């Protein structure tokens, strides 16, 4: 698993204008997020099926992935999908245990897991984020961490409109591709390999624009698009619709709601709890029950204090992670 560094701590959150309908429409500032006050590392790609299979090989409590044989999605490097949030939490807990770290997330129950916050007085309790234990090193990406890695441009100190490096607003969305190093994987009948899922974001992540939805740490929130996504999807709290105009000789989808609003103006509505995202462009996120397993949903790992060079001396036959930030550090899994 290769990681990329997301620096520029203290960046401002992304904000947008949105219509909120109650008794009458009101034009309101909404804050999507993306502000992160620390440097962190995020996996360059989604977690792959082979990574989950390696954890399963040495674990009694198996993580079950969706059978995507009919879609060509069962290859070892395809994204690990059909996972619940708790499956993702188990995976990162196993990574932490392999490194002699504490587990990140605490759950109760077995048949139906229930997430619990760490409490004051417990080792590793962090008042800033009671879900994460500070003795751990690997976590599910939070919504802010995911969003910043996908959309923030450190050179512009602003947010891009798609998970692409510093595209101009007049350029069209990424080209739909079945796999490769350009465009993005969407409008397809199945997923691509996680390391071949389109172009990179400004920070160097791959696949945040399509290929698979991704769980985040934040309240069951699923971010991004998937391999069957459209470029844009109408938003539940809107009453208008999308049409196509030609801007700079390029057909561009725009939203009609009294005035023309460029297609690129995101709807980042946190207030619509069950709002569906089916787009390369961030449009608020899909909120699921933590036990839900959807065939198009995987996840991405973040890490704190991953070494940039050198190996971690952990004896094991199971190699799970290689950290890529100018050099690769092999992280080996040990079991007692």
- pLDDT tens profile 219-238: 778 888 889 887 654 443 33
Q: Is the pLDDT of residue 96 over 60?
A: yes
Determine the average pLDDT of the residues in 126-149. Answer: 92
Q: Is the pLDDT of residue 201 over 70?
A: yes
More confident residue, 68 or 166: 68
Determine the average pLDDT of the residues in 86-97. Answer: 94
More confident residue, 13 or 305: 13
Q: pLDDT value at position 3?
A: 96
Task: Give the gyration radius of the chain's Cα atoms.
Answer: 20
Number of Cβ within a 10 Å radius of residue 35: 16
- The encoded tokens of residue 263 equal 């297609």
Q: pLDDT value at position 281?
A: 57
- 246 band by pLDDT with thresholds 50, 70 and 90: low
As a three-state string, the secondary structure of 193-240 is CHHHEECECCCCCECCCCCCEEECCCCCEEECCCCCCECCCCCCCCCC
Determine the average pLDDT of the residues in 102-115. Answer: 85
Task: Enter the DSSP assignment of 79.
Answer: B
Cα(222)–Cα(48) distance, integer angstroms: 17
Q: pLDDT value at position 80?
A: 97
- The encoded tokens of residue 206 equal 């791959």
What angle, rounded to 10 degrees, do the helices at 85-98 and 49-56 form? 60
Task: Enter the DSSP assignment of 64.
Answer: P
What would you measure as the largest C-alpha separation in the chain, in angstroms?
64
- The encoded tokens of residue 93 equal 């807990």
Q: Which helix (H) or strand (E) holds 69?
A: none
Q: What is the pLDDT of residues 8-39, one digit of tens each?
A: 999 998 875 444 433 444 444 455 678 999 99
Q: pLDDT value at position 282?
A: 54
Convert 5-32 to b/e letters by CB count within 10 Å (16 or more is b): bbeeeebebbebebbeeeeeeeeeebeb
Please provide the average confidence, as pLDDT, over all residues in the chain.
Answer: 75
- pTM (2 d.p.): 0.77
Top-confidence range, 205-219, 271-285, 298-312: 205-219
Cα(70)–Cα(99) distance, integer angstroms: 36
Question: Partners of 330 in the beta sheet?
Answer: 322
Give the lowest-confidence range in 83-92, 245-254, 269-278, 298-307.
269-278
Q: pLDDT value at position 2?
A: 94
Sketch out the chain's domains with CATH numbers.
3-229+274-333 (3.90.1580.10)
**Under 8 Å between Cβ of 298 and 81:** yes
Give the lowest-confidence range in 105-119, 191-205, 301-315.
301-315
E-assigned strands of 111-163? 114-116, 138-140, 152-153, 158-159
**Under 8 Å between Cβ of 175 and 157:** no
Q: pLDDT value at position 53?
A: 96
Angle of CA points 148, 154, 160, to nearest 5°: 60
Please, what is the end-to-end C-alpha distance for the chain in angstroms? 23
| Residue 85 φ then ψ, to 5° | -60, -40
Q: pLDDT value at position 60?
A: 83
CA dihedral 244, 278, 286, 245 (to 10 degrees): -10
């Amino acid at each position: 698993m290769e990681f990329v560094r997301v620096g520029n701590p203290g960046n401002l959150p992304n904000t947008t204008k949105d219509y909120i309908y109650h008794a009458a429409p009101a034009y309101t500032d909404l804050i999507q997020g993306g502000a992160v006050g620390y440097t962190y590392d995020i996996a360059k790609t989604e977690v792959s099926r082979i990574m989950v299979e390696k954890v399963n090989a040495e674990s009694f409590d198996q993580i079950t992935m969706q059978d995507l044989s009919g879609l060509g999605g069962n290859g070892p490097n395809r994204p690990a999908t059909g996972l619940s949030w708790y499956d993702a939490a188990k995976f990162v807990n196993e990574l932490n245990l392999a490194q002699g770290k504490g587990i990140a997330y605490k759950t109760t129950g077995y048949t139906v897991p229930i997430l619990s916050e760490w409490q004051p007085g417990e080792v590793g309790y962090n008042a800033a984020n009671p879900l994460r234990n500070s003795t751990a090193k690997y976590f599910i990406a939070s919504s802010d961490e995911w969003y910043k890695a996908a959309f923030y441009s450190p050179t512009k100190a602003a947010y891009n409109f798609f998970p692409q490096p510093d595209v101009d607003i007049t350029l069209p969305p990424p080209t739909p591709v079945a796999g490769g190093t350009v465009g993005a994987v969407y409008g397809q009948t199945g997923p691509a390999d996680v390391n071949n899922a389109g172009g990179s974001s400004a920070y160097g992540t791959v696949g945040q624009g399509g290929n698979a939805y991704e769980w985040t740490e934040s309240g069951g929130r699923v971010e991004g698009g998937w391999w069957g996504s459209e470029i844009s999807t109408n938003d539940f709290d809107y009453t208008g619709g999308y049409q196509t105009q030609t801007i700079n000789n390029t057909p561009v989808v725009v939203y009609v709601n009294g005035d023309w609003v460029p297609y690129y103006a995101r709807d980042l509505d946190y207030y619509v709890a069950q709002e569906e995202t089916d787009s390369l462009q961030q449009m608020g996120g899909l909120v699921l029950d933590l036990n839900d397993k959807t065939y198009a949903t995987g996840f991405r790992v973040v890490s704190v204090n991953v070494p940039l060079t050198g190996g971690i001396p952990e004896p094991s036959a199971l190699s799970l992670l290689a950290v890529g930030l100018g050099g690769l550090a092999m992280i080996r899994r040990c079991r007692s």
